[in-house]
Every structure is written in structure tokens, then in C-alpha cells.
């Protein structure tokens, strides 16, 4: 099962955060947003199919986020959680921790924004169009 989001990078993408990564529907990014990888997302968790959300709420589920931009691709996988709401209308967040809020898409990821491929991050910082594919198994 998968959800696909179209977004774009921004000149302030630095991907330096050590515990989260984020994709947002916002149309701006300040230098302080060091976890944000892409902006102007055409969808947010509140738009996801209820069956997809239910699958993510299984603690045994493997959730993978793949980001493609500027000819570069990278992925990170984490796990689902029964407390995942996926109701946020603005952004989605992957976490290395077990913290859950309405934006959380996965927990226990092995890395966050700082772990993404630097060529991908550079393409996003150049404003490249991005495709974010979220799969749950």
C-alpha cells in the first residue's frame, strides 16, 4: 500500500536535524527549519486513505519513505504505531524516537534529515521537484 506526494525543495533545505525529517504543505521555509526536506506538498496525512492509515497503526508495520529529486533517490524505513493518527492537514514527520503526534508518519527510523543522501539534499536545496512515496508493509 502506498501514498504519493508531490512537493519541491527550497534554498533553505539543509537537512541537519538529527531526530526528525519533515515534508510540509507550507509554501515557505526559514533557515531554522533544518528538518524540512520539501515544501508545497500537494497532500498531507489527513488526505491519506483510511486503509493506509489503519495499516500504519500496526506496531509490526514497516513504513518506508522514499524521496526522489533531481535524479537522486534515498529511502528510510521505520515502524508503525497504534497511536499514529495521521490527521495533520499541513505536514508529515518521520522520527527516530517513539514520540507520536498528529504529524508522525513513522517511528524508530535509523536516521532523520541529517542522514539523507547529500546529493539528494543538494538537489532539494536547488529547488528540485520532489516525489515522496510512502509505503507500508
Average pLDDT over residues 112-131: 98
The pLDDT tens digits for 58-73 are 999 999 999 999 999 9
Cell of 30: 526559514
Q: Which residues of 87-96 are buried (b: 16+ CB within 10 A; e: fewer)?
A: ebeebbbbbb
In whole angstroms, what is the distance from residue 11 CA to residue 109 CA? 25
What confidence score (pLDDT) does residue 57 get? 98
What confidence score (pLDDT) does residue 118 get? 98
pTM: predicted TM-score of the whole model, two decimal places: 0.96
CB of 110 closer than 8 Å to CB of 95? no
What confidence tier does 88 reach under pLDDT thresholds 50, 70, 90?
A: very high
What confidence score (pLDDT) does residue 70 get? 97
Domain that holds residue 6: 2-136
Average pLDDT over residues 47-61: 97
In whole angstroms, what is the distance from residue 60 CA to residue 38 CA? 28
What confidence score (pLDDT) does residue 114 get? 98
Q: In 3D, which of 71, 41, 57, 46 has the Cα closest to residue 133?
A: 41
In whole angstroms, what is the distance from residue 135 CA to residue 91 CA? 17
Taking the mean position of all CA atoms in its chain, how far away is CA 24? 8
What confidence score (pLDDT) does residue 84 get? 97
The pLDDT tens digits for 16-46 are 999 999 999 999 999 999 999 999 999 999 9
In whole angstroms, what is the distance from residue 137 CA to residue 127 CA? 31
Looking at residue 52, which CATH number applies to its domain? 2.60.120.630
**Cα distance between the two ends of the chain:** 7
The pLDDT tens digits for 90-111 are 999 999 999 999 999 999 999 9
Number of domains in the chain: 1
What confidence score (pLDDT) does residue 17 get? 97
Q: In 3D, which of 38, 46, 49 has the Cα closest to residue 14?
A: 38
Amino acid at each position: 500500500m502506498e501514498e504519493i506526494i508531490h512537493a519541491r525543495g527550497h534554498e533553505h533545505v539543509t537537512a541537519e536535524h538529527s531526530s526528525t525529517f519533515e515534508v510540509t504543505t507550507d509554501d515557505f521555509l526559514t533557515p531554522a527549519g533544518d528538518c524540512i526536506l520539501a515544501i508545497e506538498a500537494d497532500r498531507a496525512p489527513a488526505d491519506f486513505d483510511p486503509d493506509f492509515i489503519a495499516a500504519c497503526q500496526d506496531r509490526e508495520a514497516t513504513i518506508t519513505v522514499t524521496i526522489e529529486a533531481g535524479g537522486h533517490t534515498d529511502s528510510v524505513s521505520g515502524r508503525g504505531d497504534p497511536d499514529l493518527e495521521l490527521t495533520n492537514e499541513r505536514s508529515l514527520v518521520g522520527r527516530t524516537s517513539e514520540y507520536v503526534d498528529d504529524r508522525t508518519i513513522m517511528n524508530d527510523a535509523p536516521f532523520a534529515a541529517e542522514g539523507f543522501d547529500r546529493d539528494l539534499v543538494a538537489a532539494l536545496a536547488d529547488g528540485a521537484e520532489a516525489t515522496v512515496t510512502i509505503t507500508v508493509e
